[in-house]
Structures are given as C-alpha cells and as structure tokens.
C-alpha cells in the first residue's frame, strides 16, 4: 500500500498511530486558501476530531518523493470543498502538505 493510500485510510479510520507513523516530526501543512500552517500535532488532532470526511479520493501521482491527490472533503459545518493536495516525502514519511481548495455548492 502506498503512503497516500495508508494516509487516506488512517484519516478515514481515525487511526492516530498510523498518522503518527506517516507524518514526519517536522511536518508542515500549508492551506493556501486560508494561509494557515499546521504542525503534525495540529493535523493529527484535527483528523481525530472527525471533522474531515473525504469522498472520491483519487491519487493523481505518487513516487518516492511526492504524492498528489484530489478529493471532495465535507466538514462538520456542512461545507464541501474540492481539494487538490501535494505531499512531499522525506525518509519515507510525509514532511509537507500543501492544498488548494475550491468551495462546492451545498
């Protein structure tokens, strides 16, 4: 199973142990829509909250250095966004994640 397949499954299953294993200690998540930057701990806490629900997850490209994935993400507040995500890898772990998001009609 690829890094992105494992990451998507961990997010869906709220698997904190796997997320800890997959995210590098120096991990940074840059959300270009809001400008926010989250750390490994921030992302794991958010993922465990159940606020993020991905649908139609599609891995566009992945190799040992980078992964690109697209999905529809529904949040607890009912907002839905089409999210394009770029993951950079270091030492077999995700070291950075950058996303661009487009709001979808409810």
The pLDDT, as a whole number, for residue 34 is: 84
Using a cut of 0.85, tell me whether the model's pTM lies above it.
yes
Instruction: Give the per-residue pLDDT at 50.
Output: 85
Per-residue H/E/C for the chain? CCHHHHHHHHHHHCCHHHHHHHEEEEEEEEECCCCEEEEHHHHHHHHHCCCCEEEEEEEEEECCCEEEEEEEEECCCCCEEEEEEEEEEECCEEEEEEEEEEEECC
pLDDT of amino acid 51: 87
At the topology level, CATH places domain 3-104 in Nuclear Transport Factor 2; Chain: A, (3.10.450)
Give me the residues of the chain with pLDDT under 70, please.
none
């Amino acid at each position: 199973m690829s890094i992105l397949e494992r990451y998507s499954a961990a997010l869906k299953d709220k698997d904190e142990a796997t997320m800890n294993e997959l995210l590098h200690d120096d991990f940074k998540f840059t959300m270009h829509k809001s400008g926010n930057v989250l750390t490994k701990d921030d992302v794991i806490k958010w993922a465990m909250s159940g606020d993020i629900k991905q649908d139609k997850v599609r891995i566009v490209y992945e190799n040992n250095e980078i992964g690109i994935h697209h999905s529809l993400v529904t949040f607890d507040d009912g907002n839905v966004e089409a999210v394009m995500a770029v993951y950079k890898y270091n030492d077999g772990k995700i070291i950075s994640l950058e996303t661009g998001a487009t709001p979808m009609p409810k």
